[in-house]
Amino acid sequence: MDNGKLIGCVYLDLSKAFDTIAHCILLDKLPAYGVVGPELAWFTDYLFNRTQLVEMQNNCSRPSTITTGVPQGSILGPLMFIVFFNDLKESVKNSEIIKYADDTVILYADKDAQNIEDALNKDMNLIRDYCYHNELLLNQKKDKTEVMLFGTSQRLRKSRKT
C-alpha cells in the first residue's frame, strides 16, 4: 500500500478439511517428504483398517471403515494435513499464498483493481481444480470463503470510479 497498490485477498475455507483427506492421496504425497519404506508402511497402518461406530443408549451401530480424514486431537493429524495440503502453492500462479493449517489466504497486489480481480479469479480456478483432484471441497457459504480489497482510502475511492 505504501507503493500505491491495492491488495486483493481471498480467505479460503475448506469444508471439513481434516475429515475429508483421502488416505490414498496422502500416502502418495508422503514420499516427496522422504517418507518411504518402513515409515510409509507405518503411516499406512496408522491410517488404514480403522473403524468407527456409534453407541447410543447401550445400542451400538455396526463398525464402519474409515477411508478419509486424519485423527484430530493427535499430534500427527495437523502434520498430515499440512503435508497433504502443502502442494497447493504449486497450483497458484499469480498470487502469494499464506497457509496456517487449514486456514489459507491468497493475495495479489496491483495498482489496478481489475488486474487484481483477474489474477485472483485465475488462481481461484486453479485452486478449484486442485481441490477437485485432491477430493477437497471449498466452503462457499456466507462468511466462510471471503474476498476483500485493501488499500488507502484514497486508492480505494479511485478504484471504485474505474
pLDDT tens digits, 38-81: 999 999 988 888 888 899 999 999 988 888 888 778 888 888 88
Q: Is residue 45 part of a domain?
A: yes
In a domain, 122, yes or no: yes
Q: What is the pLDDT of residue 151?
A: 85
- Would residue 150 count as lying in a domain? yes
Q: What is the pLDDT of residues 70-118, one digit of tens each?
A: 877 888 888 888 889 999 999 999 999 998 877 899 999 999 999 999 9
**Number of structural domains found in the chain:** 1
Residue-number span of the structural domain to which 93 is assigned: 6-160
- Determine, yes or no, domain membership for 86: yes
In a domain, 29, yes or no: yes
Quick check: is 68 in a domain?
Answer: yes
Q: How far apart are CA 33 and CA 41, in angstroms?
A: 14
- Tell whether 1 is covered by a domain: no
Nearest-angstrom CA–CA distance, 26 and 80 = 8
Question: How many contiguous H segments (helices) and E segments (strands) does the chain have?
Answer: 5, 8
What does the block give as the cell for 45?
497402518
Q: What is the rounded CA–CA span in Å between residue 7 and residue 155?
A: 11
What is the per-residue DSSP string for 11-42?
EEEBTTGGG--BHHHHHHHGGGGT--HHHHHH
> Domain containing 59 — which CATH number?
3.30.70
Residue 154 lies in a domain: yes
Predicted confidence at residue 162, as pLDDT, reads: 55
